[in-house]
Structure 1
Amino acid sequence: MKHMLTINGNHASVSLDGKIYAHDAGIIRDELLAAIEGGVTDISMELSRLEYIDSSGLGVLVTVHKRTLDKNGKLVLKGVQGMAAEILKRTRLDKVLHIE
């Protein structure tokens, strides 16, 4: 899995490529939670190149979603497609998370 995090003021952009498993999810979670604690309130995630996300990756999305809401911000998922979109639908997270 490859990822890139860019922070600009209170906004962070993240792009995720490949497959997210438990180890990768922990790294991403730690980076995003540190960004939120540092003042980031709005996060956009580009997922068009994401091939697969496991339950720990889904947990990161839920955690980041809740933390941004706590800061009066939001998490936006962009470009969700393929297996990642199917997993979000099957878990009904597509009803909870903001997907563009």
Structure 2
Amino acid sequence: MKHSLNVSGNYATVSLDGKIYAHDAGIIRDELLEAIEQGVKDIRFDLSKLNYIDSSGLGVLVTVHKRTIEKNGRLVLTGVQGMAAEILKRTRLDKVLHIE
């Protein structure tokens, strides 16, 4: 899995490419929680190149979603398609997370 995190002020964009498993999810979670502690409130995930996400990856989305709300910000998912879209629907996270 490849990912990139770009931070500009209180805004961050995360691009995910490939498949997210537990190890990758931990790295992304730690980077994002650190960014939130440093003032990032709004986070946009680009999932257009994501092929698969496991429960650990879903946990990251939920954790980051909760933290952004605590900071009066928000998490937005873009480019959701394929297996990622199906998993979000099956877990009903598509009803909780903001998807564009």
CA drift at 1:53:
0.2
1:47 match: 47
Unaligned runs of 5+ in 2: none
CA drift at 1:14:
0.4
Q: Percent identity?
A: 82
* Structure 1: 4+ residue segments shifted above 2 A: none
CA distance in 2: counterparts of 1:18 and 1:67, whole angstroms: 25
Q: Any idea what SS the aligned residue of 1:80 has? A: coil
Q: Any idea what SS the aligned residue of 2:40 has? A: coil
1:62 match: 62
2:82 match: 82
Partner deviation per Cα, 1:3-34 (whole Å, 9 max, x = no partner): 00000000000000000000000000000000
Unaligned runs of 5+ in 1: none
Between the two proteins, the alignment pairs up a number of residues equal to 100
TM-score by length of 1: 1.00
CA distance in 2: counterparts of 1:47 and 1:62, whole angstroms: 15
1:31 match: 31
RMSD of aligned residue pairs (Cα, Å): 0.2
TM-score by length of 2: 1.00
Partner deviation per Cα, 1:33-90 (whole Å, 9 max, x = no partner): 0000000000000000000000000000000000000000000000000000000000
